[in-house]
Chains A and B, each alone.
Chain A
Amino acid sequence: MKYGRAILLGAMALAMLHQVFPEGGLTVPGTVTAGSAFSIQSSGSGGATLYITGMGHFLKRDVQLGQSTLFPAGSIYNAGHYLVVLTGTGATVSSAFDVVPASEPENLSFLARPSRLPVDLHNGITGALYVFDAYKNLITVPKPVLFQLSNPAGATEARTVMTRDGAAWTQMDSTSQQGMDKFVARVDDGISSTRIVGQIPGDPCGLKMAARESGGKIQLQTDPVRDCSGNAVPDGTIVTFTESDKGAQSTVDVPIKRGVAEAELPAHSGATISVASGVVLGNQIRWAR
C-alpha cells in the first residue's frame, strides 16, 4: 500500500515533467517481452538519471548520455504500459513502451467443475482454462487448447478450443462408467494441467432382495445393488427395509456393505416386506411361514 502510493506519486510527478519538457534524445523499444532483457539508448553527453515506472515497477538508473543502458532479464516482468523519463542537467525527456506477455505458456489455471457428478450427464462437466506466461501474465494471443476427458477404461472425449482474451472453456458429458476420470487441458501440445472428476453411479436400478428365516427372524439381503448402467452403487448408500404386518410396521435403514444391504426383521407370517433406496422402490416379499 505504502509502495503503491509512492509509485503513483512518482508516476504523476514524472508525467508532469513529461508535459513540461520537450521529448527527445531517448530511444526506447516499442514493446518488450515480459522478463526479457532490453536496452534504452540516450543521446547527448554527461550524466543523467533514467526512471522507468508502471505496473508495480519503479526503476532508477544513473546513466551516461550517449550510451546504451542495458536492463538484464527479469528487470521488468509485469505486462502493461511503462513510462521512461530521463532527467539531468539539461531538459527532461520522456518516452513510453509496452511490456507484453511472453508467448510461451508457463502457468495454467484450470477450473474443472464439478469434482463429482453422476454418470451419463450431458454437458455436466465444465472446464475453463486461463493461460499465463512464466510471470503470471495472461497470454491474450489465441492459443489452441486441447481438453481431454478419459475414464479408467480408456475411453476418451477430446475437444480443441482456441483461447480468447487468454481463456478457453468447454463442456463435456460424463460417461456411463463410474470412476475417477482424468480431465486434462493441454496448450500448444506442451504444458498441461490435470483435474480429477469423480463419476458416481446413479440411483439403484432393479433393486431386489431375498428373504430367509434365521433364528426366528427374517434375514433379508439384497442382490448386488447397481445403477441402470451396471455400476455398483457405493458402500454406505442407505437401503430401507420395511415390514408391514396387521397395522404394525418395522423399519430399518442399513448401509450397503460390500455391495449388498442386509437386515434382520421380526418374522411375522403374512407380513409384507419391501425394500427401497432413496426414491427408488424395489421388490416386495410376502412372508408366509
Chain B
Amino acid sequence: MNKGVVLAAVLSIVTVAFVVIGTIWPGPSALAYAGGQGVVHSTATPEAAVANLGSQIQSQAWSKAYASLANKGQFTQTEFVHDLTGFYPGLRTYATLDKFEVRPLHASDNEADVQLKLFWSTVVGISVSSRNLHMVRNGDHWQAKWPIEKEPVVPPQVIPVNYLRWDVIYRGPGDDWGAQDVEEPHVRIVDMHAVQRADGVVVLGELLNEDVVPAYVSVNATLQSKSQAAIATEGSFDKISHVLLPKQVTPFLIRFPDVSLSDVGSVRMTPFSTLIPASADPVIAIDDATLSPAPDAYLTGQLVNQSGQVVNVAHVLGTFYDKSGQVVWVADQYLDSALLPQTPAPFSIHIPEDLARRVSSERAVVASYIAGGPR
C-alpha cells in the first residue's frame, strides 16, 4: 500500500516536472505546431527561406506563409491556401504536411530557383507534390515567388445526363421465412495467380461482375501450405474498385508480407459481393494512357470527368498484362485533388522495374467517390 502511494507520488511529480520543462523550453517542432516561431527563422539564403516557408505550411500558419511571398500581390491568401489544400473537397483538404524537402536548382547573387517537395499525409497514404519556386533577394533576405495554380474554371454549360441508378428493396423483418429476398450479385474471378516479391507473396487477378445489378465487392485470399494448413488470410483492402457495375471488371491485389511462395501449396480465393444502390454516373474517361518503358516505368495519362459532378476522390487502378494476356502487376494512384467536370487531370502510376520489362499491355479503371453520393 505504502509502496503504491510512493510510486503514484513519484509519477505525479515527474509528470508535472516534464510539463513545466516542455512549457518553458519547448522543442522547435512543438513550437511550430503551437503557432509560435517556426523551426527555421533565417531567410538569409534561398534554401533557408524555402525551408521557412515549408515549416509555415506544415504548421498551417497560412498568414505567415502568405506574408513571406514576394508575389503575394498577384493572388489572395484564400487562393494561396486553396492552391495547397484544393479548391474543392478532396484528399488534400483533410491532409497534413508530413514533411518537406528543399532542393536548390540554380542560384545567382540576386535570384535562385529552389524545388520544394511536399509530402502530404492523406487518409490513403503519402501524396507527393512539388513546386519549383523562383527566389528573389530583397535586401538581406530572400523571398519566394509562389507559382500559383489558380482555380480551374469550368465554362457554364448544361451537361445532359440520362439519370440511371439502382435502388434496392430488401425483404422486411415481418416476412414469412420462406419469402424471397433480393439475390446477391453474381461475381466471378476471371484471372488470378500468386507471385513472389521481395517483401512477400502477392496475389493478383481480376474480378468480373457478371450480373445485371451493381455490386459492392471485395476479395479475400488464404494461402495454404502443401499440407492444406492455412498460412495467412488477407483482403484486397483498397487495391480494388469496390463498386462494380454490371459487366465491369476490376483488378485486385492482395499482399502477404513475409511469406515465401515456396511454402505455398495452394491459394483459396473468397470473393464477396453485396447488392447496393448505385449510380451509373459519373463516367470518367482515361485519355492518352501511355506506358513508359523501364527502368523508370510509369503508366501516365489523363482522367476526364465526362459528367457534370465534381468527383472528390478519383482512384486509378492499372492492370498490366504480359504478351500472353496474363496479369503481371496491379498498381494504383489516388488523385489528391478533386476531379472537375470536363477538366483533364493527369495521373502517373509507377511500375516496378523488373515487372515493367514483361509488361506488354495495360488496362486502367477509375473508382470514384463523391461526397454525399452521386446526385
Q: Mark A236-247, 1 if CB is under 8 A from B, else 0.
A: 111100100001
**Contact (Cβ within 8 A) B286 A109:** no
- Interface flag for B248 (CB, 8 Å): yes
**Contact (Cβ within 8 A) B183 A254:** no
Given A201-B212, A255-B280, A258-B162, A237 and B246 contact (CB-CB distance below 8 Å): yes
Cα(A31)–Cα(B270), bound, Å: 53
**Contact (Cβ within 8 A) A200 B212:** yes
**Contact (Cβ within 8 A) A236 B245:** yes
Cα(A114)–Cα(B186), bound, Å: 11
Q: Mark B283-301, 1 if CB is under 8 A from A, else 0.
A: 1111111110000000001
Cα(A198)–Cα(B211), bound, Å: 12
**Contact (Cβ within 8 A) A236 B246:** yes
- Interface flag for A57 (CB, 8 Å): no
**Contact (Cβ within 8 A) A110 B286:** no
Cβ contacts under 8 Å, A257 to chain B = 162, 164, 280
Nearest neighbor of A114 in chain B, beta-carbon distance: B183
- Interface flag for B190 (CB, 8 Å): yes
- Interface flag for B141 (CB, 8 Å): no
**Docked complex: A107-154 residues within 8 A CB-CB of B:** 108-117, 130
**Docked complex: B328-375 residues within 8 A CB-CB of A:** 362-366
- Interface flag for A266 (CB, 8 Å): yes
Question: Smallest distance from the beta carbon of A272 to chain B beta carbons, Å?
Answer: 12
**Contact (Cβ within 8 A) A277 B162:** no
**Contact (Cβ within 8 A) A130 B178:** yes
Question: Smallest distance from the beta carbon of A277 to chain B beta carbons, Å?
Answer: 5
Cα(A268)–Cα(B234), bound, Å: 43
Interface of A is mostly: strand
**Contact (Cβ within 8 A) A250 B287:** yes
Cβ contacts under 8 Å, B181 to chain A = 115
**Contact (Cβ within 8 A) A252 B306:** yes
Question: Smallest distance from the beta carbon of B51 to chain A beta carbons, Å?
Answer: 39
**Docked complex: A217-271 residues within 8 A CB-CB of B:** 233-239, 242, 247-255, 257-258, 263-266
In the complex, the number of residue pairs spanning A and B with C-beta atoms less than 8 Å apart equals 111
Given A114-B183, A234-B212, A236-B280, A277 and B285 contact (CB-CB distance below 8 Å): no
**Contact (Cβ within 8 A) B182 A115:** yes
**Contact (Cβ within 8 A) A255 B208:** no
Nearest neighbor of A128 in chain B, beta-carbon distance: B178
How many residues in B have their beta carbons less than 8 Å from beta carbons of A?
A: 40
Cβ contacts under 8 Å, A277 to chain B = 247
**Contact (Cβ within 8 A) B289 A238:** no
**Contact (Cβ within 8 A) A249 B289:** yes
Cα(A264)–Cα(B214), bound, Å: 24
**Contact (Cβ within 8 A) A200 B211:** yes
Cα(A112)–Cα(B180), bound, Å: 7
**Contact (Cβ within 8 A) A250 B286:** yes
- Interface flag for B176 (CB, 8 Å): yes
The one of B177, B212, B306 that contacts A236, using a Cβ cutoff of 8 Å = B212
Cα(A180)–Cα(B42), bound, Å: 76
Q: Mark A159-175, 1 if CB is under 8 A from B, else 0.
A: 00000000000000000
**Contact (Cβ within 8 A) B289 A252:** no
Cα(A214)–Cα(B363), bound, Å: 26
- Interface flag for A205 (CB, 8 Å): no
**Contact (Cβ within 8 A) B363 A251:** yes
**Contact (Cβ within 8 A) B180 A253:** no
Nearest neighbor of B366 in chain A, beta-carbon distance: A253
Cβ contacts under 8 Å, A55 to chain B = none
Nearest neighbor of B245 in chain A, beta-carbon distance: A238
Question: Smallest distance from the beta carbon of A238 to chain B beta carbons, Å?
Answer: 4
Cα(A265)–Cα(B306), bound, Å: 11
- Interface flag for A279 (CB, 8 Å): yes
**Contact (Cβ within 8 A) B306 A196:** no
- Interface flag for B210 (CB, 8 Å): yes
Cα(A251)–Cα(B299), bound, Å: 13
- Interface flag for A195 (CB, 8 Å): yes
What is B's interface to A at a CB cutoff of 8 Å? Answer: 162, 164, 166, 176-178, 180-183, 190, 208-214, 245-249, 280, 283-291, 301, 306, 362-366
What is A's interface to B at a CB cutoff of 8 Å? Answer: 108-117, 130, 193, 195-196, 198, 200-201, 203-204, 233-239, 242, 247-255, 257-258, 263-266, 277-279
What are 22 A-B contacts defined by CB distance under 8 Å? Answer: A114-B183, A115-B180, A198-B183, A203-B210, A234-B212, A236-B166, A237-B247, A248-B288, A250-B301, A251-B286, A251-B363, A252-B283, A253-B245, A253-B366, A255-B245, A257-B162, A258-B162, A265-B287, A277-B247, A278-B208, A278-B209, A278-B248
Q: Closest 10 interchain pairs by CB?
A: A109-B178, A278-B247, A255-B280, A252-B285, A238-B248, A237-B246, A116-B183, A251-B286, A115-B183, A249-B289
